Structure 1
Amino acid sequence: MRDWTAAILGACALPAAAAAGEATRAPFGTLPDGRVVEEVTLTNGTLTARIIAWGAALRSLDVPDRDGRHADVVLGYADLASYLGKSNYFGASVGRYANRIRGGRFTLDGRDYTLARNDGPNMLHGGKEGFDRRLWSIEAVEGGATPSVTLRYVSPDGEEGFPGTLTATVTYTLSAADTLRIEYRATTDRPTLVNLTNHSYFNLAGEGSGRSILDHRIMIPADRYTPVDETQIPTGEIAPVAGTPFDFRDEERIGARIRDGRAVQLLRGHGYDHNYVLGDAPSDEPRLAARVTDPASGRVLEVASTAPGVQFYTGNMLDATTVGKSGLAYRQSDAFALEPELFPDTPNQPAFGSARLDPGGMVRNVITYRFPSPSSPDRTAR
């Protein structure tokens, strides 16, 4: 197995060529209560990202293929009404706690808290009205060589059962010709729990291509993952990937082993929906979480983050009842998600670390989506 991390992150550190970037804002829709939801478009001549204030969501991301033809590679909707209906977390900023908490319960400083349960017996992605279903305020829009937008949401004490008033921000930046950088930060006025991430679904062939992601090739540089029980809560075990369908340390087709009926974990997740262990704690600088290639288009996505884990999800619950931006019904395996975050159910599993945030402190999760050009030296290396 190649040591991808140094090569990829080293390439990210190279100075970007000077290019004129733009950042514009326009109305996207109106909520039933009359509040206007805006969309900000960031472009740098290579990538174009569109972010809506509803859920601070990445609505589209245009990326060139090997022949320079652009396509939108993230799932999403054409109108606000669809986001207000069946959101599916498309591109959303999820919190206050991304992923699942067992039984919708946790204990903090000797006090028991009960959360909104929206995934069978468990809480998922912040509850019934998580950060993905809130209107964030647009705090700043910047043009120039690195166009960006910063959004902010203040979650009141007790929202969805979580203690403390939490102030969260996210900044989307086209930080180089081939990179979208997302930085989450949060502070609180009382001890609380925080786990913020982005929930974009990717199809590198294009979200309107009608092709599945099963022929995409993925590399995840993790030798451990966290198996789950029947309700997709981690069992507490941190298991080796070696000898299992979860071993992607060497690049492999996403669909190569996804139908292995002998693998109980694949049956429980209806495919891949599992946390991979990148480290034992958050890092100061982003580390490689995954590399995905679409052989047909030549597009490559490299995901890096400061989070200790990454949830790999193969769109198992997409059931053709959702119509996307291109007018196509999204089906199972039409996209994958890579969600860099703390481990699921960390508040109830001390061996996983801590999700605690105290007054005066700050949590931070930096995520980068890099799309190297065909000329990048690490593009074809094996």
Structure 2
Amino acid sequence: MQKSNISHFTANCITKLFGTLPDGKQVFSYMLSNGNGMEVTFINYGATITSLKIADENGGMTDVVLGFNDIDDYIDAFNLPSAPYFGSVIGRYAGRINKGTFTINNDTYQLNKNHGVHTLHGGNSGFGRGFWQMKQLKGGLNPSIVFTYTSRDGEEQFPGELTINVAYTLTENNELLVDYTATTTKDTVINLTQHSYFNLDGHAQTVSGQELLVNADEVLRLNEDNIPTGEFIAVKDTAIDFNKVGYVPASIDTSFVLKNNDEPAASLYSAKTGLKMTVYTNQPSVHIYVGGNCFGSIQGKESASYHTTSGICFETQNFPDAPNHAHFPNSVLRKGEQYNHKTKFAFEKAK
């Protein structure tokens, strides 16, 4: 699709036309940069991160997230047998909801089912396909951008009109801050996350051999459909005990129960580039995913051929299916309250 030249520039912020949706709405890309040369680019389709470039130990710039060059590729990816959700904000409820149903205030809601008999990542469309408005763009030191989206009452059969703001801030310390807030007109459930696939060797490489730490002693026990049973499994002396450094597994789809929000949730390190990413959050879980949503047939940006170990997701969030487990952390947002979710991705050269 034909792109325009730069349409807007402010200090540390560049805006370009990225493409046009089938309904004629224009999607723009917004690039923030800091004084260290770090650059992060977003589009207002899905409030998506399309690129994150950072100086590595080898003197180059490494793009550490998977993505596409064109809006049509993002649209088409949602029609794959299992959509990869590259870089998008996930909602209204990240993860699985058992049989797509839950109860609030004695009212039972049946959601749209998009994963067999279950609901995954918000339903048939979800927020990753949403057209978000760019609400605020701030340049200078610690540049930031705010996207907003209104999910109508009954969208995907969820109750309440939900208004969401997602603020991305790039600090001079090479941190990407992600702050989510939301309010609702009716009591509802909510669980937002960011679904970027990271690769510290570069988006066209493999995450195999990169080092992983996770600050968790337990994971959620899952049934055969990857639905939480409500029980917890200790990770000690298992293949998924990442309290000590381990290599990124070839396949994982697991919700880790975080021990302490004052400590890092997880970290990733590449000996090849010397880059380290540390993840912080105020959420009770980080869902770590590597695997099946890249089929060896997805061509990403810069003609990269994405495959099952192209990237690793750190989905900071509440537990999947929390609305159906009273002992899980609260997932209900009441009318008159505000949802607040904070996550930080901090980058450094650690060689």
TM-score > 0.5 by shorter chain: yes
Distance (Å, rounded) in 1 between the aligned partners of 2:168 and 2:217: 30
Q: Which residue of 1 aligns with 2:226?
A: 232
Shift of 1:175: 2.0
Aligned pair 1:310/2:286, yes or no?
yes
Q: Which of 29, 32, 39 is the aligned partner of 2:29?
A: 39
What is the number of residues matched between the two proteins?
336
Q: Which residue of 1 aligns with 2:4?
A: none
Q: Which residue of 2 aligns with 1:164?
A: 160
State whether residues 21 and 44 of structure 1, in contact with CA within 8 Å, keep that contact through their aligned partners in structure 2. Answer: no
Which residue type is aligned with residue 93 of structure 1? V
Q: Which residue of 2 aligns with 1:107?
A: 103
Q: Which residue of 2 aligns with 1:28?
A: 18
Q: Structure 1 residue runs of 4+, over 4 Å off?
A: none
Secondary structure at the residue paired with 1:213? coil
| Identical amino acids, percent of aligned pairs | 36
Aligned pair 1:143/2:139, yes or no?
yes
State whether residues 215 and 259 of structure 2, in contact with CA within 8 Å, keep that contact through their aligned partners in structure 1. Answer: no
More strand, by proportion? 2
Aligned pair 1:346/2:335, yes or no?
no
Q: Which residue of 2 aligns with 1:129?
A: 125
Aligned pair 1:330/2:319, yes or no?
no
Aligned pair 1:221/2:218, yes or no?
no
Shift of 1:180: 0.8
Which residue type is aligned with residue 220 of structure 2? T
Distance (Å, rounded) in 2 between the aligned partners of 1:346 and 1:67: 44
Q: Deviations over 1:313-361 (max 9, x none)?
A: 0133311121100212211111100000000100011111210001111
Aligned pair 1:68/2:59, yes or no?
yes
Shift of 1:227: 1.9
Which residue type is aligned with residue 239 of structure 2? P
Distance (Å, rounded) in 1 between the aligned partners of 2:271 and 2:138: 35
Secondary structure at the residue paired with 2:66? coil
Q: Which of 250, 255, 265 is the aligned partner of 1:275?
A: 255
Shift of 1:21: 5.7
Distance (Å, rounded) in 1 between the aligned partners of 2:263 and 2:76: 35
Shift of 1:202: 0.6
Which residue type is aligned with residue 118 of structure 1? N
Query: How large is the Cα RMSD of the aligned pairs?
Result: 1.5
Q: Which residue of 2 aligns with 1:191?
A: 187
Secondary structure at the residue paired with 1:84? helix
Q: Which residue of 2 aligns with 1:10?
A: none
Which residue type is aligned with residue 87 of structure 2? G
Q: Which residue of 1 aligns with 2:5?
A: none
Q: Which of 47, 52, 57 is the aligned partner of 1:56?
A: 47
Distance (Å, rounded) in 2 between the aligned partners of 1:177 and 1:243: 36
Shift of 1:33: 1.1
Aligned pair 1:294/2:290, yes or no?
no
Which residue type is aligned with residue 56 of structure 1? A
Q: Which of 82, 85, 96 is the aligned partner of 2:76?
A: 85
Shift of 1:301: 0.7
Q: Deviations over 1:244-294 (max 9, x none)?
A: 111000111113xx5xxxxxxxxxxxx2101000149xx6xx641111101
State whether residues 47 and 177 of structure 1, in contact with CA within 8 Å, keep that contact through their aligned partners in structure 2. Answer: no
Q: Which residue of 1 aligns with 2:7?
A: none
Shift of 1:224: 0.8
Distance (Å, rounded) in 2 between the aligned partners of 1:241 and 1:185: 32
Judge which range, 295-304 or 51-60, deviates more. 295-304
Q: Which of 340, 359, 362 is the aligned partner of 2:335?
A: 359
The alignment's TM-score, normalised by the length of structure 2, stands at: 0.93
Secondary structure at the residue paired with 1:236? strand
Q: Which of 230, 241, 257 is the aligned partner of 2:235?
A: 241
Structure 1 gaps of 5+ residues are: 1-19, 259-270, 374-378
Distance (Å, rounded) in 2 between the aligned partners of 1:359 and 1:102: 24
Shift of 1:297: 1.2
Shift of 1:68: 2.9
Q: Which residue of 2 aligns with 1:14?
A: none
Q: Deviations over 1:164-217 (max 9, x none)?
A: 000001011102331111111110011000101100001111012xx3212010
Which residue type is aligned with residue 53 of structure 2? D
Q: Aligned ranges for residues 171-190 of structure 1 at < 5 Å?
A: 171-190=167-186
State whether residues 208 and 248 of structure 2, in contact with CA within 8 Å, keep that contact through their aligned partners in structure 1. Answer: yes
Shift of 1:25: 1.5
Distance (Å, rounded) in 2 between the aligned partners of 1:332 and 1:95: 24
Q: Deviations over 1:54-77 (max 9, x none)?
A: 000001000111123102110011
Which residue type is aligned with residue 331 of structure 2? A
Which residue type is aligned with residue 197 of structure 1? T
State whether residues 120 and 231 of structure 1, in contact with CA within 8 Å, keep that contact through their aligned partners in structure 2. Answer: no
Distance (Å, rounded) in 2 between the aligned partners of 1:184 and 1:197: 9
Structure 2 gaps of 5+ residues are: 1-9, 79-83
